[in-house]
C-alpha cells in the first residue's frame, strides 16, 4: 500500500541571524526522536531561513523613495517604507489592486509584496525572502548529510496567493536534491493516448502537503515528507518559473 507520512519538526525556538539552521533542525529532530532517512524531503519555512540569514529589517531604518511615496498614495496609504523594501526586492510590478501590489522578485517569483512579511518577525519589522533560496536549501541539505549521513531533499517554502482562487497555498521557493517538476510527456495512458501536457510541480505539492502540519500559528517551522520515491537530482526552484513567452498572465504594464 502506497503511503506517505508528513511529520512536523517542532521545538526549534526563535531563530536568530547567523544561526546554523541545518544543525538546529537536526537537533530539534533528535529531541523529538525523529531520525532523518535517505529519500526524505525536509521542508523548511522561509521565515526561519530568512531569519537565520539576517533578512529581517527594521522599518524605522527605511527611508521611502519618491516612487514608494507615489505608490503609497495610489495604494490606499500602504506603508511607504514597506513599498520601498518591495521595490528593492523586485524586477517589475505585475499588478496593483486597491492596497495590493503583485511583483516579480529578482528571483523571478510572482507574488504579493515581494514575499515580504510583517507577521512573525516582531512589530515594526519586516522579513525579506532569502537572496538565494536554492543555496539556502543546499546548505541545509549538506549540513543534514554531514551530521546524520543521510541524503535528503530540501524545500524552502513560502505562502503565496494566486489569481482566481481564494486562500493561499505554500509553494517551493528553494529546492535542493530533487527535480521540482515531474515530466510525464511522451508517456502514454492505459488507453495508448500520448500525454502531451503533463508536468507536475511536485515541489509545490510537497510544500502544500507540509503546510498541512506546519500551519500558520502552530510553531512548526519544518516538516519531513517521507515515502516519496524521487530520484536524487540537482534541482532548482528556478525550474518552476514559467518563461515569459509561455505566460498568458504576464501583466506587463
Q: Pick out residues in 198-217 that bind its own copies (CB under 8 A).
A: 198-202, 204-206, 208-209, 211-213, 215-217
Joined together, the cell numbers standing for residue 9 give 519538526
Site for its own copies in 168-187 (CB under 8 A): 168-171, 180-182, 184, 187
Closest CA to 104 of 91, 115, 116: 91
The alpha carbon torsion through 205, 210, 216, 220 (nearest 10 deg) reads -160
**Per CB under 8 A, 32 contacts its own copies:** yes
By CB under 8 A, the residues from 93 to 112 that bind its own copies are 95-97, 100, 102, 109-110
Our CB check for its own copies shows the closer of 68 and 223 to be: 223
How far apart (Å, rounded) are the C-alpha atoms in residues 180 and 182? Answer: 7
Among 27, 132, 189, 234, contact with its own copies (rule: CB under 8 A): 189
C-beta of residue 161 within 8 angstroms of C-beta of residue 100? no
Interface with its own copies, residue 17, by CB under 8 A: no
The least distance separating its own copies from the CB of residue 251, rounded to whole angstroms, comes to: 7
Least distance from its own copies to the Cβ atom of residue 58, Å: 14
Nearest-angstrom CA–CA distance, 147 and 159: 29
Q: What is the largest CA-CA distance in the chain?
A: 63
| Residue number with CB closer to its own copies (142 or 233) | 233
**Interface with its own copies by CB under 8 A: which range of 76-84, 91-99, 129-137, 138-146?**
91-99
Contact segment (CB under 8 A) with its own copies among 59-67, 68-76, 82-90, 194-202 equals 194-202
CA proximity to 127, closest of 169, 82, 171, 75? 82
127 and 82 in contact (C-beta within 8 Å)?
Answer: no
Q: Distance (Å, rounded) from C-alpha 9 to C-alpha 149? A: 19
30 touches its own copies by CB under 8 A: no
Amino acid at each position: 500500500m502506497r503511503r506517505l507520512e508528513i511529520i512536523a519538526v517542532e521545538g526549534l525556538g526563535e531563530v536568530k541571524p547567523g544561526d546554523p539552521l541545518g544543525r538546529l533542525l537536526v537537533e530539534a529532530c533528535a529531541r523529538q526522536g525523529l531520525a532523518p532517512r535517505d529519500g526524505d524531503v525536509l521542508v523548511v519555512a522561509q521565515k526561519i531561513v530568512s531569519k537565520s540569514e539576517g533578512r529581517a529589517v527594521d522599518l524605522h531604518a527605511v527611508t521611502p523613495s519618491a516612487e514608494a511615496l507615489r505608490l503609497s498614495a495610489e495604494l490606499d496609504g500602504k506603508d511607504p517604507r514597506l513599498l520601498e523594501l518591495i521595490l528593492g526586492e523586485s524586477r517589475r510590478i505585475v499588478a496593483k489592486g486597491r492596497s495590493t501590489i503583485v511583483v516579480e522578485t529578482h528571483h523571478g517569483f510572482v507574488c504579493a509584496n515581494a514575499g515580504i512579511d510583517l507577521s512573525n518577525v516582531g512589530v515594526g519589522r519586516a522579513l525579506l525572502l532569502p537572496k538565494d533560496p536554492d543555496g539556502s536549501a543546499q546548505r541545509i541539505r549538506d549540513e543534514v548529510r554531514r551530521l546524520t549521513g543521510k541524503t535528503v531533499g530540501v524545500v524552502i517554502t513560502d505562502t503565496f496567493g494566486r489569481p482566481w482562487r481564494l486562500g493561499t497555498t505554500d509553494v517551493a521557493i528553494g529546492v535542493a536534491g530533487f527535480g521540482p517538476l515531474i515530466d510525464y510527456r511522451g508517456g502514454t495512458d492505459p488507453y495508448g493516448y500520448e500525454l502531451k501536457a503533463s508536468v507536475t510541480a511536485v515541489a509545490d505539492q510537497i510544500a502544500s502537503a507540509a503546510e498541512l502540519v506546519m500551519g500558520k500559528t502552530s510553531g512548526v517551522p519544518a516538516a519531513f515528507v517521507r515515502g516519496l520515491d524521487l530520484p536524487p537530482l540537482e534541482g532548482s526552484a528556478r525550474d518552476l518559473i514559467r518563461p515569459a513567452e509561455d505566460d498568458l498572465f504576464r501583466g506587463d504594464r
